[in-house]
Structure 1
């Protein structure tokens, strides 16, 4: 959309919720609008559409408006302003916001009040962002479908019969439906990229270690969670993803996995070879997705990239490794919580996933870690030739509700179709969903993958694709 159509201050308040974060921040800094106007505009949009969609399940409006007033005072006093100064954002329910419950979609956690902010929340505040709500997630943030007995189901604004994604489904819907321009999400098996995919958004899984992960309410983290879990932004435009990443990635030594990696690596497109992956072993790739991949490849070629069809090693092996590590750790901890505190849906979904995961001992777990290291080495060698990989985000168009609740065999099919999401997470790599248009009323997109800490490479290529496709926007269907 063209934000420049809004030219007079009198036209601004009713339109602000439609803007992206970059425009909103610029207008707040210049004094064209106030942060209070931006926050109120988003709350008005939330009031109008969230009762149906249920993306945001808690909002401290008084706190948000007070923060907006402080932000406006800082503008008037010409203080140093952060990159997201006064901009409304949403925060997922599985990280800590001081004084609020970190429920993670579990009724038993309804009174688990955070004594302090998670680092990512603190970093967003330092950048000037203002939370206008907490976004829904499945119990334990462990499904590609966002519904739970505490907060209910989050509907996809494009089609309520298909999933809103998970586990950052509330985050995705909050942005797709215009409740905010930028949302926080987490990802251990596609939980940022899949909600971005089904809601028509850009969604970045940053490299684990890029965005610090410290949460006052969280205890020990097993190795799989330490190394595979990531955080990142969801937005309607690539430039907002870039802005969100820079804000979220501030330092915190309390996370031993945090890496003070350089953020900007300028890319010369003519020097970057791209591997096009339009055939996934064991899966029948939807024709619309293959068409989107080939169109994205043509766009990148026209921009100077050298695109070749090539298959990275061990895509399906990545699923086995992910299951061996994550599901073994789940048996040691989370699965007991799912059985004791989860509803029927999360129990069945996890049981189906468990059924296909090998039951291994300590030696088997250590072997899985070693296999991951070996597969990662092979991917490193592959990415020496192909620094950028263009592949599906998912091999299916957005799933219908409950496709993970059938049999264990059904779940096996789901996992294969989600292998582009899972393997990227298993190998601790960054990935970016790039929306490419709408097919039969539903968003479709592609995934870009690069080496560790090369998010800039993803965002440069994603921005090129974005400029040459019909991006989903706020006028499509809602």
Structure 2
């Protein structure tokens, strides 16, 4: 109970300005905290791995009795009758939900603002994006409003908010965490293949604990895969591909410095770091656009046009304009080409079990960087291609903070084969030890 009270005090102190948590049910939260305290007194052996831990749930996952608005005014009264599978798992692990975190409409921008709840500010600097689509989740964890945040990621929506807020953010392998939410009528192929749910927190150990709580009991989700969390050799140093050149992109100097710093940390810990280029990052971006934006045209764009939100409309239109024309032939060929490229990635990951690459090629972006037309969006997509390529190949990815650059958070991305999240976390701990974030310096942190 005292832990929850402390976090609520923090929410009262800073959330009014940051706007990360946009819905709370404190009566329900404190009732759950009392139940957790009673269980500890009565049967301490039954406590779960997140017993009493205050956490937040993103607005696009179902929480029974609450609206799954996903930042869309037309969905503001879409009340969930039951918890999504990941929320049910977190409750079983003993977590206490302190609130719901903000998103862009449809969870489809790297900038978190919407007509329902307004803008979520980055705690380090107001004029820089808080990230998206798990921007509220990242700010809540970064500003100390919760111990752990739930997020989702189809093109970087966990890893990018973690990057710009100085967090560890894990995109697990799709299928690792059950994704089913009862309010979602249907999930297109791209959403099934590319999207993942995972944790964000200040420390790798907290992310690891969150992952452990999220993964079980997913039989109601046909995409869920029951694979052990641990595999032999995950904690041991391995061969690492250092990727500091991205096709058609120019890495910001601070991104290049962060990669070099992380490479030195891994080398000192016994990892064998070599320069190597994974196959087809640019092709992976092209395939992601061909598949996802075809599905957006079919399943989401009419609702985007119907909204009174020029920002989401401009952003989605520009992204559609960057994609190949939508037709059945192009969609089918993109799915087939993806299979061949994914095979090449698997061969690469046999040689290099760990990849160290940019999270983004840019320093954290100013607000509205996706609203300047098609050519600007094309350049933005190229700079975000390290995020998108990992999603397109259905791989796990982890943003690891490396400290501050020019007063803003900086980080790198680690990538491994499917279902080897523990390998990412082990390497992330090595980099984290050499690059503790100065949370006391963050105005909202």
SS in structure 2 opposite 1:382? helix
- State how far apart, in whole Å, the 1-side matches of 2:185 and 2:60 are: 13
Hey, what's the Cα distance between the residues in 1 that align with 2:322 and 2:287? 12
Structure 1 length normalisation: TM-score?
A: 0.91
1:397-476 correspondence to structure 2 within 5 Å: 397-476=363-442
What is the number of residues matched between the two proteins? 443
Q: Call closer, same or farther: CA 1:348–1:447 in 2, change over 3 Å.
A: same
Provide the aligned C-alpha RMSD in A.
1.0
Distance 1:428 1:268 in 2: 19
**Contact 2:243/2:357, CA 8 A, preserved across alignment:** yes
Deviations 1:14-56 (A, max 9, x none): xxxxxxxxxxxxxxxxxxxxxx111111111001000000000
2:149 corresponds to which residue?
183
SS of 1:90's partner is strand
Residue aligning to 1:53: 18
Question: What is the CA deviation profile of residues 427-461 of structure 1, one whole-angstrom value per residue up to 9, with x for unaligned ones?
Answer: 10000000000011100000000000000000000
The answer to whether the 8 Å contact 2:235/2:422 transfers is: no
Q: Which runs of 4+ in 1 moved over 4 A?
A: 268-271
Does residue 1:39 correspond to 2:4, yes or no? yes
SS in 1 for 2:439: coil
What is residue 344 of structure 2 aligned with on the other side? 378
Matched, 1:64 2:26: no
Instruction: Report the equivalent of 1:311.
Output: 277
Gaps of 5+ in 2: none
Q: CA deviation at 1:78?
A: 2.3
Matches within 5 A, 1:215-226: 215-226=181-192
Residue 474 of structure 1: how far off its partner (Å): 4.0
Q: Structure 1 residues 470, 252: closer, same or farther in 2, change over 3 A? A: closer
Distance 2:74 2:243 in 1: 43
Partners of 2:314 and 2:373 within 8 A in 1: no
Contact kept? 2:163, 2:400, Cα under 8 Å: yes
The structural deviation recorded for 1:402 is 0.4
Indicate if the aligned counterparts of 2:234 and 2:420 stay in contact, CA closer than 8 A.
Answer: no
Q: Which secondary structure state, in structure 1, belongs to the residue aligned with residue 197 of structure 2? A: strand
The aligned runs of 1:100-179 (5 Å cut-off) are 100-179=66-145
Distance 1:174 1:342 in 2: 27
Give the Cα–Cα distance (whole angstroms) in 2 for the partners of residues 59 and 472 of structure 1: 29
For 2:323 and 2:336, the matched residues in 1 are separated by 17
Structure 2 match to 1:324:
290
| Aligned-pair CA distance for 1:472 | 3.8
Q: Does 1:284 align with 2:284?
A: no
Q: 2:315–2:370: 8 Å Cα contact kept in structure 1? A: yes
What SS does the corresponding residue of 1:471 show, helix, strand or coil? coil
Residue number in structure 2 paired with 1:90: 56
1:267 aligns with 2:223: no
Q: Is the 8 A contact 1:315 1:420 kept in 2?
A: yes
Q: Is the 8 A contact 1:106 1:342 kept in 2?
A: no
CA contact (8 A) 1:269 1:303 kept: no
Q: Give the drift of 1:269.
A: 6.5
* Post-superposition offset of 1:424: 0.3
SS at match of 2:278: coil
**Per-residue deviation, 1:361:** 1.6
In the alignment, does 2:215 pair up with 1:257?
no
TM-score (norm 2): 0.98
Q: State the secondary structure of the residue aligned to 1:384.
A: helix
Q: How does 1:296-375 map to 2 (within 5 A)?
A: 296-341=262-307, 343-375=309-341
